[in-house]
Amino acid sequence: MTKDISIQVIKRLPRYYRFLTELENNGVDKVSSTKLAEVMSSTASQVRQDLNCFGGFGQQGYGYPVAMLRKEIGRILGLDKTHRAVLLGAGNLGRAIATHLNFDSLGFQLTAIFEKDKKLIGTMLRGITVMPDSDIEDYIRSNHVNTAFLTLPKDSVEPLIDKLYALGIRNYWNFSHFDIARKYSDTIVENVHLGDSLMTLCYRINEKNH
């Protein structure tokens, strides 16, 4: 069933999921397509079309069952599984990532954090003791890890990536500007380029004031 969902719909799923989680936390049982359309900046008919992809949820006039719909979207996203991940880089960005996100509910378990800066090694982050980066190889060899979160600068990622790839890591959440997928085409890389986001904001401001 999942196979038939278009990439456009998939891209909207995290947002649906996020909003449904909020509703569920607020004790809401049912939600209408109109209300969902509002938060999705979409139309009620688009929402109904999207949600039809996952089978027979919702009945005209009754609204969608929040908990069931959330669970189903979570299942499609694969959030019910857990990928074991390590974080490389415990500087400001690494610390923000480690403390900011609830990985468990996003499909990942953060199992270890590595850093080369001696001042940061041994400190605690999210209940995890930061380890020296010289331990990476041993750790990954003896633990089931399939994902790396990279909050290091490009220059540090470049020499590291061959090692990580050789150790079998194929999934990357990459905050650096190093283009991992170009070097290793069988990796899955989700890039977060904060500078690109800021440039886009700049463009949109200027465009509006033109």
Q: Note the residues at the interface with a copy of itself (CB under 8 A).
A: 2, 10-11, 13-15, 17-18, 22, 38-39, 41, 76-79, 81, 83, 91-93, 95-97, 99-103, 106-108, 146-147, 171, 173, 177, 179, 181-182, 188, 190, 192-208, 210
Specify the residue, 134 or 197, whose C-beta has the smaller distance to a copy of itself. 197
Of 104 and 135, which has the nearer Cβ to a copy of itself? 104
β pairing state of 83-88 and 108-115 = parallel
What is the rounded CA–CA span in Å between residue 160 and residue 162? Answer: 6
Question: 108 near 124, Cβ under 8 Å?
Answer: no
Query: Which CB, 100 or 118, lies closer to a copy of itself?
Result: 100
d(CA 114, CA 121): 8
Instruction: Give the shortest CB-192-to-a copy of itself separation in angstroms.
Output: 6
Q: Please, what is the minimum distance in Å from the beta carbon of residue 167 to a copy of itself? A: 17
φ, ψ (nearest 5 deg) of residue 79:
-70, -15
Q: Which is nearer to a copy of itself, 135 or 196 (CB)?
A: 196
Checking DSSP bridges between strand 131-132 and strand 108-115, what pairing results, if any? parallel
Question: What is the closest distance, in whole angstroms, from the C-beta atom of residue 105 to a copy of itself in the complex?
Answer: 9
Distance CA 149, CA 108 (A): 11
